[in-house]
Amino acid sequence: GGDGGMVETSGKQTLGVAHGRVDARAPAGRTGTWLLDPTNITLAGGTGATPDTVYEDALEAAGANQIINASGTITASGTFSGGDVTMPAGLSLTLNGDAGIDLTTSTHGTALALKTFGASGTIALNTVSGAINAGTLKAAGGAVSLVAGGTGTLQVRDITTNPLTDGPGGAITLQSGGAMTLGAAGSHIDARGTGIGATSGNVTITSGGAVTMQSSQNIYANDLQISAAGGITDSANSLL
């Protein structure tokens, strides 16, 4: 038994994924990857058949790690069941939107959540020169990485990597060329492990601008490193 392979779905300008299912799992090896490669892409709630749109049902029934590459932007729209996208256990979700990623544009606004499960269930959001704007990212035991390239800004409200069963928390890496804003009321950056003596994940925050922490937000980590060219402040603009 080997590993699962890679399946690529591309379109020169537009791309349609309607009720598509790709199964790249391997009974005795690592799960393969499904790569979607449009110009601009919308993550939409429910089910449908609209060009340049990946629907919630296709992601949640995936049989492969998902990589969505957009040379333009990635946005969200519509209403999602439960207000989230929940990947099957052990599968990762990677969004690469060169010009920007904004996951706050659905009917759920900043409450939309991306969820994965297991150490291999990672979440990654990457841009080349655009901003990243996200609500909630929950990787139960997996790592979370957000990289806003160029002068891109980064804003995220809630990140947790606590596993559902006993085990270490996943690492959290946040990087932006521009300013970074972290948190919202009642939300945290939380890489704690689960169970007695479980190790927390490391949290690394690097910003080419200022890092602003919302009031009453906590960061839970084994090792916390913060580097901000523009300083670190709370939401009242006080130096932390």
Structure-derived torsion over alpha carbons of residues 14, 20, 24, 25, reported in degrees to the nearest 10? 140
* Structural contact between residues 161 and 131, judged by C-beta atoms closer than 8 angstroms: no
pLDDT at 50 over 60: yes
Residue 72's pLDDT band, with cuts at 50, 70 and 90, is very high
The proportion of the chain whose per-residue pLDDT surpasses 70, expressed as a percent, equals 82
DSSP string for 106-120: STTGGG-EEEEESTT
Query: 173-211 pLDDT, tens per residue?
Result: 999 999 999 998 888 999 999 999 999 999 999 999 999
The b-or-e profile of 11-46 (16+ CB within 10 A means b, else e) is: eeeebebeebebebbeeeeebbbbbbbbbbbbbbbe
Q: Which two tokens stand for residue 40?
A: 């601009």
The b-or-e profile of 127-142 (16+ CB within 10 A means b, else e) is: beebbbbbbbbbbbbb
Compute the C-alpha angle 182/187/192, nearest 5°.
Answer: 95
Query: 152-178 pLDDT, tens per residue?
Result: 999 999 999 999 999 999 999 999 999
Global pTM value: 0.86
Q: Which two tokens stand for residue 107?
A: 């009917």
Q: Which two tokens stand for residue 228?
A: 């901000």
Query: 52-64 pLDDT, tens per residue?
Result: 999 999 999 988 9
